[in-house]
Chain A
Amino acid sequence: MRFLLKGGLVIDPQTGLEKEGDIRVAEGKIVEMGMNLAVGDEALIDLQGKIVAPGFIDLHVHLREPGGEAHETIRTGCQAAAAGGFTMIVAMPNTNPCADNEGVIELVKTRAEKTGLVHVLPIGTISKGRAGEEIAEIGSLYQAGAVAVSDDGSCVASGEVMRRALEYTKIFGIPVISHSEDVTLSADGLMHEGKWSTILGLRGIPAQAEEIMVARDIFLAELTGGKLHLAHLSTAGSVALLKFARQRGIMVTAEATPHHLLLTDEEVQSYATSTKVNPPLRSRADVQALQEAVKEGLISCLATDHAPWSEEEKEQEYSKAPSGIVGLETAIPMVWDTLVVKEKMSPLELIARFTTGPAKVLGLEKGCLAVGKEADITIIDPHLKKAVQTSEFYSMGKNTPVDGRVFQGWPVMTIVGGKIVMREGKVKGDIFKDA
């Protein structure tokens, strides 16, 4: 497949490039970049008014397979990623069986390759069986292809186990992704603890349940010199701790999700179970602090924490329904509208959080546009305004509180390894089988 991307605004946070220009793609690579490139015999794609960015990377995706195929499969998850403008996704290991062994890592890799849409990088578990008691065979997981370890979904309660994981991963240079939650404090909590939990009579989860574990993990990163990445930060206190870590020179990175950057606990008042998520939707002050931290780059990654659930699971009483929001197909419009359209961030800053930010966490030579590089490219129409329609989702999970909401700024093309895998919201294999 050879084509010329013509006349788009090319933005590459790696080099600071922000200029109208053309990109020629052939044999899966970027072969030429510049102004007014001559049109050859390849396909011409007119991108006037569009933004051409390095392929977006999502560090935090639950593909559910193996074990949870009623909620999502690797195939539907990859389709959702392509539809949502992501060229690379990182798969969390809390499947059933969980990825605490090479077998599951291999399975995820193989099936993702067969799907042939986006790059899928698997994460291994921190502990055997995600039980938080003994560290998993992280060396074997790494050799099989795990790019990080995480017990996401559960917190490693033992400081000792977390310490060992942060030390042991230094052998391989991969990060430990922490799900920071003191479960003795969050206990049976269902939503953020505050005015709304009181009104609604739902047990609250205080912000401190997260912050206490964030503080612990930051100090363990200082002790060990391990690479710590904090998943789905949701509170102003966590942002303050991150600032503190930065000042002390502790190696720690962090991500925030689109839903935590846009929605507050007030959303829960309808008892819609699509608002049930862990960590929970927080207060307005927390949202504000997160937005600022993302702008400053203190939080260097945006990640979806894409957590699909079947309708049967979510159509239950609020207390019974599982936690999670799908994000792959709404992430870009949600944050583009919230942060760029409302002029809180520049397009370049926002793109960096989806590209150079996550690439750096994993130590990958990805998330940039340059001649000779694999052509992973995300194209955004910054003017396109439309409503989220879960009925159109490729993901099997329709669980999002933003169904029906109108956002401006949508991905319109996803290019992976020089192949167009999504065009105008339609994923390859869906409309253009010849591609």
Chain B
Amino acid sequence: MGIKAKDLLTMEQLGREQIKLILHTAKEMKSIIKRDIKKVPTLRGKSVVTLFYEPSTRTRTSFELAGKYMSADVVNINTTASSVMKGESLKDTGLTLQAMGVDLVVVRHSMAGAPAMLGSYLEARVINAGDGFHQHPTQALLDMLTIQEHLGDFQGLKVAIIGDILHSRVARSNLNGLTTMGANVYLCGPATLIPPGLEEQGAKITYNLEEAITGADVIVMLRIQLERQKAGFFPSIREYSQLYGLNKERLALAKKDCLVIHPGPINRGVEISGEVADSLNSYINEQVTNGVAVRMALLYLMLT
């Protein structure tokens, strides 16, 4: 039972059975979220620290609520107002948390590999809440929970992930998790934003949006960051939107009940039209609920 490795750093480290266990547990957790009194004593006496080196509202709040619903003591460290700002190294932050007797640390960092490094200094377990362009396992798990709830089995599903693959930890984690469970994953975006070697990891690559979404069961739209345009990866937001934006007409190419999901926050009218975001195909808000459930499941599996 539980998560085998001390730290949850990547989706690659999780096999089929572990993923199934997490999703199954998350489904049970959902019933707690829907209760009138959202509190169970499961994690009483356990301490969880969220350590976010990048701004985040959704993920951090989601972890915090997940811990609180299960009675863990949750402390949020705001790195802009802490010793980190005084130049404390990640190593020393890790050693300090270790000395305080923390049970689990949730870390987000702009640099790939930072959670792994932090984990090496801690006896406490670590959950990677997103590191650079590397991995974001809890996002992949909540996406997978959303898919499973509506489509059942992953085997043979066509999942199209659209956008800035190069800079996306969400794409990498989803690719690993979904292929492990037997889905066919298409990665699609401008050629400048598709890094090498993805086929070896089981992805199908296309630069053509229509090809990616035709007959798709699930479309994962990624947020396009405006600074990527300034860095020269594509010529303009206008052209990006014309080539890779998801609108009603394009969505018609996918299966009728196709799920459209997005890790958020969305750029309405850029990668996704408002019409699609608000349509019946859109499960963007349900993802948020599932995010809390998946994080509750992980805290439960890693702290009990």
Q: Is B134 within 8 A of A194, CB to CB?
A: no
The A/B interface has a contact count, at CB < 8 Å, of 67
A270 to B117, CA, bound (A): 9
Residue A319 lies at the interface, judged by CB distance under 8 Å to chain B: yes
Contact of A271 among B91, B113, B195, B197 (CB under 8 A): B113
Q: Is B133 on the interface with A (CB-CB < 8 A)?
A: yes
B116 within 8 A of A: yes
- The reply on A137 being an interface residue by CB < 8 A is no
Q: Please determine whether B135 and A201 come into contact, CB atoms closer than 8 angstroms.
A: yes
- B 194-209 binary contact with A (CB < 8 Å = 1; else 0): 0111101100000000
Query: Is A171 engaged at the interface, CB distance under 8 Å to the other chain?
Result: no
A393 contacts the other chain (Cβ, under 8 Å)? Answer: no
Please list 17 pairs of residues, one from A and one from B, whose beta carbons are closer than 8 Å in the complex, sorted by A's number.
A195-B196, A197-B197, A198-B195, A198-B196, A199-B12, A199-B201, A201-B131, A201-B134, A202-B133, A271-B113, A317-B113, A317-B114, A317-B117, A318-B113, A318-B117, A319-B112, A320-B111
In the assembled complex, the Cα of A193 lies from the Cα of B196 at a distance in Å of 8
Chain B residues proximal to chain A, CB less than 8 Å = 12, 89-91, 109, 111-114, 116-117, 131-135, 169, 172, 195-198, 200-201
In contact, B117 and A271 (Cβ under 8 angstroms): yes
Partner of A195 from B89, B91, B133, B200 at Cβ < 8 Å:
B200
Q: Is the Cβ of A196 less than 8 Å from the Cβ of B197?
A: yes
Interface residues of A in 279-326 (CB under 8 A from B): 312, 315-320
Chain B residues with Cβ below 8 Å from A204 are 195-196
Chain A residues within 8 Å of chain B by Cβ, number: 21
- Asked if A200 is an interface residue, CB under 8 A from chain B, the answer is yes
Given A201-B131, A201-B132, A318 and B111 touching (CB < 8 A)?
yes
Cβ–Cβ contact A201 & B196, under 8 A: no
Is B135 a contact partner of A194 (Cβ separation < 8 A)?
no
Q: In the complex, A193 Cα to B114 Cα: how many Å?
A: 20
A317 and B198 contact, CB distance less than 8 A = no
Q: Would A199 and B197 be within 8 Å (CB), given that A271-B113, A317-B114 are in contact? A: yes
Which 3 residue pairs spanning A and B have beta carbons closest together?
A195-B197, A201-B134, A271-B113
Q: Are A201 and B169 in contact (CB under 8 A)?
A: yes
Bound CA span A315–B93, Å:
13
| A271 contacts B112, C-beta separation under 8 Å | yes
CB distance from A27 to the nearest CB of B (A): 53
Q: Are B196 and A194 in contact (CB under 8 A)?
A: yes
- Whether A315 pairs with B133 at a CB distance below 8 angstroms is no
Contact of B90 among A195, A199, A201, A316 (CB under 8 A): A316
How far does the Cβ of B258 sit from chain A's closest Cβ, in whole Å? 27
A270: which B residues are within 8 A, CB to CB?
A: 116
Interface contacts beyond A195-B197, A204-B196, A317-B90: sample of 20 additional A-B pairs, CB < 8 Å, sorted by A: A194-B197, A195-B200, A197-B195, A198-B172, A198-B201, A199-B12, A200-B112, A201-B134, A201-B135, A202-B113, A202-B132, A202-B133, A202-B134, A271-B117, A315-B89, A315-B91, A317-B113, A317-B114, A318-B111, A320-B111
Chain A positions within 8 Å of B172 at CB level? 198-199, 201
